[in-house]
Amino acid sequence: MTDKTLITVLKIIMTTGLCLIALGVYFHLYSEAIEQMGVTGMIISACCVAIGMIMSLPTKMFLTFVLVKREEDLKHHKLH
pTM (2 d.p.): 0.76
Full DSSP string of 51-79: HHHHHHHHHHHHHHHHHHHHHHHHHHHHH
CA distance readout (Å), 43 to 4, 16, 25, 52, 76? 37, 19, 12, 14, 50
Contact 7, 63 (CB under 8 A): yes
Summarize pLDDT for 35-44 with one digit per residue, the tens: 999 999 999 9
Encode the chain (80 residues) as per-residue pLDDT tens digits.
787 888 888 889 989 999 999 999 999 999 999 999 999 999 999 999 999 999 988 887 887 888 888 888 888 887 76
Separation between Cα atoms, residue 18 and residue 53, nearest integer Å: 7
Supply the range of the domain harboring residue 25. 3-79
Based on the structure, what is the number of domains in the chain?
Answer: 1
